[in-house]
Amino acid sequence: MSKWKDKNMIVIAGTLTLEVDVDESVLDACRTMMTATHAEKGCLDYVFSADPLNGNTLRVFEQWESLEDLEAHFQAPHMPPFRESMAQWNITGKSIHRFTVADSVEM
């Protein structure tokens, strides 16, 4: 039986393309954000990772128990410092999508 029978999980997935390769300063900012976000209510997973095939690409993957939890995340106190860090990354491309998941089965 699916854990999501009476509600919908939210998944965020996509990529950020930077002007230059992902470096340690970018990964440090991501680690700080990931640690803080994992402590948030409703966060099931939150990952920024360097794409091993494209050095200037960050992969984004998030799982949230509800849309309300995701919306609260955008108001979290650690969001403004992370946005400031992102502003320095010279992001040249973004493809991030939100998915509403009605069912999930472990494989």
Q: List the chain pLDDT tens, one digit each, 107 residues.
A: 445 555 789 999 999 999 999 999 999 999 999 999 999 999 999 999 999 999 999 999 999 999 999 999 999 999 999 999 999 999 999 999 999 998 888 89
Angle in degrees, CA 36, 7, 95, rounded to 5: 55
Cβ–Cβ < 8 Å for 70, 42: yes
What integer pLDDT is reported at residue 102 of this predicted model?
Answer: 87
Q: What is d(CA 94, CA 97) in angstroms, rounded to the nearest whole number?
A: 10
Every domain of the chain and the residues it spans? 9-101
What integer pLDDT is reported at residue 1 of this predicted model?
Answer: 40
What integer pLDDT is reported at residue 64 of this predicted model?
Answer: 97
Class of domain 9-101: alpha beta
Q: Which of 56, 25, 27, 59 is nearest to 45 (CA)?
A: 59
Cβ–Cβ < 8 Å for 12, 69: no
